[in-house]
């Protein structure tokens, strides 16, 4: 009982300490450095950098930015400043110029890879990390993005286009509640167990990029293009791959996004364009092979 009380008190202390650190940060300076307002979830400030300048097609589908072109950077208060994590969407010619600027500014490159196949033009994803002063890191990130054609003016706010799918049925099959993001119906399904990076718990998991991410983009007549990634431990990788492939869902990449997370995680990306309900059932079969939190 004493141990339980000590654990509860420790968790409260950590929560209060994190809240205090967040209040100490001048987030307006970070917003100014980024050139846009953050989306705030809990103590995480997330900045979106969608590649609205690109016209990317895949198997005849014009990809919406929210489906597979949504670059982002998130800051979470930590001892001595913030933990930064992000995923920048780049063309092949932009990779090295952006990377050089990030390295010069003291940020870490944690992965560079594809997420999808056959896209035209081909897009690549540079995962970044860092720890320290958020305004300084924000300035480095913005300066690095100047070496690409990533739009640095925040997109105009507006109502997203309607989702021409049976979203209630999708929610029921997946076992979570999705949301309309720019005309893409998105799910963020957390793992059951906590994830830490550098000894610090990564939460909330969705804004920090460590939830199972699933997006449905309507393609007409009840069909949808789907992509995203499963966040998996080593023993879950091949059961999930087999579940996806047996349901007609292509596996397009398997890799890491971070360097010293616990437990060790692998990100399994996928793609299909078919009947949305059929694909949802295939995705649910794959989710059932992983330790995730579903309704």
Residue 252, token pair as written in the block: 């397009």
Q: How many percent of the chain have pLDDT more than 90? A: 88
**pLDDT tens digits along 220-254:** 999 999 999 999 999 999 999 999 999 999 999 99
Counting every residue written for the chain, the total comes to 295
* CA trace torsion 65, 234, 127, 123 (10° rounding): -40
**Residue 21 scores a pLDDT above 80:** no
Per-residue pLDDT at 198: 83
pLDDT digits (tens, 9 = 90+) for 44-79: 999 999 999 999 999 999 999 999 999 999 999 998
- Helix/strand/coil for 143: helix
Provide the CA 209 distance to its chain's centre, in angstroms: 3
Q: What is the pLDDT of residue 22?
A: 57
Q: Tell which wins on pLDDT, 9 or 200.
A: 200
SS3 106: coil
Residue 16 confidence (pLDDT): 40
pLDDT digits (tens, 9 = 90+) for 153-203: 887 878 899 999 999 999 999 999 999 999 999 999 999 999 999 889 999
Burial of 92 (0-12, 13-18, 19+ CB in 10 A): exposed
Whole-number pLDDT of residue 4: 36
Residue 9 pLDDT: 41
Per-residue pLDDT at 7 exceeds 80: no
Among the residue ranges 1-15, 16-30, 264-278, the one predicted with the least confidence is 1-15
pLDDT at 18 over 80: no
Tens-place pLDDT, residues 84-110? 999 999 999 999 999 999 999 999 999
Stretch 204-221: mean pLDDT, rounded? 97
> Buried b vs exposed e over 10-36: b needs ≥16 C-beta within 10 Å?
eeeeeeeebeebbeebebeebbebbeb
pTM comes to 0.91
pLDDT of residue 77: 96
Residue-level pLDDT at 23: 62
Q: Which tens digit of pLDDT belongs to each residue from 35-48? A: 999 999 999 999 99
Convert the pLDDT of each residue in 241-292 to its tens digit: 999 999 999 999 999 999 999 999 999 999 999 999 999 999 999 999 999 9
């Amino acid at each position: 009982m004493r141990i339980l009380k000590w654990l509860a008190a420790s968790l409260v202390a950590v929560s209060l300490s994190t809240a205090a650190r967040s209040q100490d940060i001048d987030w307006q300076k970070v917003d100014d450095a980024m050139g846009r307002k953050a989306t705030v979830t809990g103590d995480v400030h997330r900045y979106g950098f969608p590649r609205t300048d690109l016209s990317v097609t895949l198997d005849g589908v014009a990809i919406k930015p929210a489906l597979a072109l949504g670059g982002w950077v998130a800051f979470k208060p930590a001892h001595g400043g913030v933990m930064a994590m992000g995923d920048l969407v780049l063309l092949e010619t932009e990779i090295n110029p952006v990377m050089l600027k990030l390295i010069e500014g003291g940020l870490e490159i944690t992965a560079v890879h594809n997420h999808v196949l056959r896209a035209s033009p081909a897009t690549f994803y540079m995962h970044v990390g860092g720890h320290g002063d958020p305004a300084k890191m924000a300035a480095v990130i913005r300066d690095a993005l100047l070496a690409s054609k990533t739009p640095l003016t925040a997109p105009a706010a507006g109502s997203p286009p309607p989702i021409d799918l049976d979203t209630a049925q999708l929610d029921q099959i997946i076992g979570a509640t999705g949301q309309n993001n720019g005309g893409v119906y998105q799910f963020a399904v957390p793992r059951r167990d906590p994830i830490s990076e550098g000894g610090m718990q990564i939460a909330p998991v969705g804004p920090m990029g460590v939830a199972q991410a699933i997006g449905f983009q309507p393609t007409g007549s009840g069909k949808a293009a789907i992509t995203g990634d499963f966040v998996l431990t080593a023993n879950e990788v091949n059961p999930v791959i087999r579940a996806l492939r047996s349901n007609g869902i292509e596996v397009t990449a398997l890799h890491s996004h971070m360097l010293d997370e616990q437990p060790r995680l692998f990100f399994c990306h996928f793609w299909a364009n078919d009947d949305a309900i059929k694909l949802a059932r295939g995705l649910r079969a794959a989710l059932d092979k992983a330790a995730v939190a579903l309704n």
